[in-house]
Amino acid sequence: MRKLNVLGGMMLLSITALATVANAEDVNKYKVGFVVQNQTINYFLNVIKGIEDHQDDYGIEVQVIDGQSDIEKQITGVENLITSNVDCIVICPDSPEAMVDVVKESREAGIPVVSWSEWIDGSNSWLTLDNYEYGYVNGQISANWIKENFEDPADAHVMFIYVHGNEQLEQRGQGMMDAINDIVPDATISDAAQSGNTTEAGQTAVEKVIQKDPDLNVVVCANDSVALGAYEAMKAAGKNDDDCCITGCDADDENLKKIAANTMIKGTADIGAYNQGEKFCKIVLDTIAIGADKELEDPVYVDFIPVTSENISDYVK
């Protein structure tokens, strides 16, 4: 169970920390390490781009470690950042439990830690989202498409692709499945056992399932990278854009273009990945301000909204 010390005034901390670096030319920049799960995933690329574009404004110098979906590489990356004596470490873990010891090591070295997405016990602060609701919004888009396009929801053959073995991403998957069950409970579930978070994983998962269920026509994906892979597999199988629905999360540029072009990618959820970059800069300064011995009171949540053909013009001109 996560236990945080009560510290109020996060806004005051932000103002104080920002004042410390108001003139970046007159102070040394804070060195901050970001350990991401996998840099082939567009979400991480967009967040890091937002961080890098704002780092000078906040007096931060960013170093990115690609975990390559390998927990040992993530642990080694954190250890190297500790050795290099950075001022703060941000970690998006594949396994939060596996990172507990190295987070303790970081704090003992006087380096505070920000948990990214999943909470790592012992961290000083946490930037996250409600993964269940994020998944539910995604599944809701597919469910509403089914309602609009099938007189008999049983004609909708649905599969789900999300990461298994990761608590937060399993919550996202549960949200996806619950939305379908709540809105179109009679839909045919083709498969809910596929795990993955990359384009390649999405393509492989759909290729596998479509061999068992040639009538597959709805794929609910945990992110937009997976959705692109699902799209490639469905097109290769001769599926028609008008007759199928693929949804994802993160509002990646390529997926937004495909929604605008009326392809079988019908929707996504916009998490504002690029805009999270500045939010990360702020929470990093707040965390550095309190130091490695204290913890921020509450997690910082990111917002998201559904994107479909109805509002795609707000994203793609």
206: left (phi over 0), alpha (psi -120 to 50) or beta: alpha
What is the band of 28 on the pLDDT scale with cuts at 50, 70, 90?
A: confident
User: Stretch 80-99: mean pLDDT, rounded?
Assistant: 96
User: Stretch 31-46: mean pLDDT, rounded?
Assistant: 92
Q: Which of 102, 109, 112 is nearest to 79 (CA)?
A: 102
Task: Give the pLDDT score at 272.
Answer: 87
Q: Encode pLDDT of 258-311 as tens digits.
A: 999 999 999 999 988 898 999 999 999 999 999 999 999 899 998 889 999 999
Q: To the nearest 10°, the Cα dihedral for 65, 71, 72, 77?
A: 20
Whether 57 shows a pLDDT value over 80: the answer reads: yes
d(CA 116, CA 90): 6
Task: Give the pLDDT score at 244.
Answer: 98
pTM (2 decimals)?
A: 0.72
Decide which of 94 and 14 is more confident.
94
Whether 5 shows a pLDDT value over 80: the answer reads: no
d(CA 120, CA 134): 20
Q: Encode pLDDT of 101-132 as tens digits.
A: 999 999 999 999 999 988 999 999 999 989 99
Q: Encode pLDDT of 190-241 as tens digits.
A: 999 999 999 999 999 999 999 999 999 999 999 999 999 999 999 999 999 9
Under 8 Å CB-to-CB from 17, ≥6 apart: which residues? 285, 286, 288, 289
Cα dist. 85→62, 113, 117, 174, 241 in Å?
Answer: 13, 13, 24, 39, 52
Any idea what DSSP says for residue 81? H
Task: Give the pLDDT score at 4.
Answer: 40
Task: Give the pLDDT score at 163.
Answer: 94
Task: Give the pLDDT score at 275.
Answer: 87
Q: Encode pLDDT of 128-187 as tens digits.
A: 989 999 999 999 999 999 999 999 999 999 999 999 988 889 999 999 999 999 999 999
Phi, psi dihedrals of residue 314, rounded to the nearest 5°: -75, -15
Task: Give the pLDDT score at 12.
Answer: 38
Task: Give the pLDDT score at 27.
Answer: 57
